[in-house]
Amino acid sequence: MTTDMTRRDLTALAATGALSGLFGHVRAAEAQPAATGSAPMRVAMLVHPDMVLLDLVGPLTVFSLLQAETHLVWKGRAAVTSDVKLPVTPTTTFSECPRDLDALFVPGGLKGSVTLMGDSEVLGFLAERGAQA
């Protein structure tokens, strides 16, 4: 018997752990009575050219399962093209994005991320919202 783990094995193991943790959290939340007037988690997810689409869609799915209020944010509302050439349409702009966020999320992507590092408008938005999230 070999103890070598393939990338596929590791991915399956991580997914199983992540899902069990997620559904354990969801079950715990369902078991408790809903707080009167409690607001859903508020999340902003930066969408940007050449982002890794999988890095956006996976976490977006989790936030959706948690019934979070999720905003796909970019400079404008025109669709941006992901690494696999699928367009993603932002739901809000930097100026419209809520200030009181619980989480600020930036998907990866080497080419897209390197470009963002030189964009003062993006960096300013992330610094402002990130300081409060």
Q: How much is the average pLDDT of 2-14?
A: 52
Write phi, then psi, for 92 (nearest 5 degrees).
-155, 160
pLDDT tier at 5 (50, 70, 90 boundaries)? low
Percentage above 70 pLDDT, the chain: 72
Task: Check whether 12 has a pLDDT greater than 60.
Answer: no
Amino acid, res. 132:
Q
Separation CA 26–CA 66 (nearest Å):
7
Percent with pLDDT over 90 in the chain: 68
The 8 Å CB, 24+ separation contacts for 22-28 are: 22/62, 22/65, 22/66, 25/66, 26/65, 26/66
Domain residue ranges in the chain:
40-132
What's the whole-number mean pLDDT along residues 71-95? 97
Q: Distance between CA 73 and CA 119 in Å, rounded?
A: 15
CATH architecture of 40-132: 3-Layer(aba) Sandwich (3.40)
Helix (H, G, I), strand (E, B) or coil at 33: coil
Query: Which pLDDT score is estimated for 26?
Result: 47
Beta-bridge mates of residue 70: 43
Q: Do the beta carbons of residue 95 and residue 85 sit within 8 Å? A: no
pTM of the model: 0.72
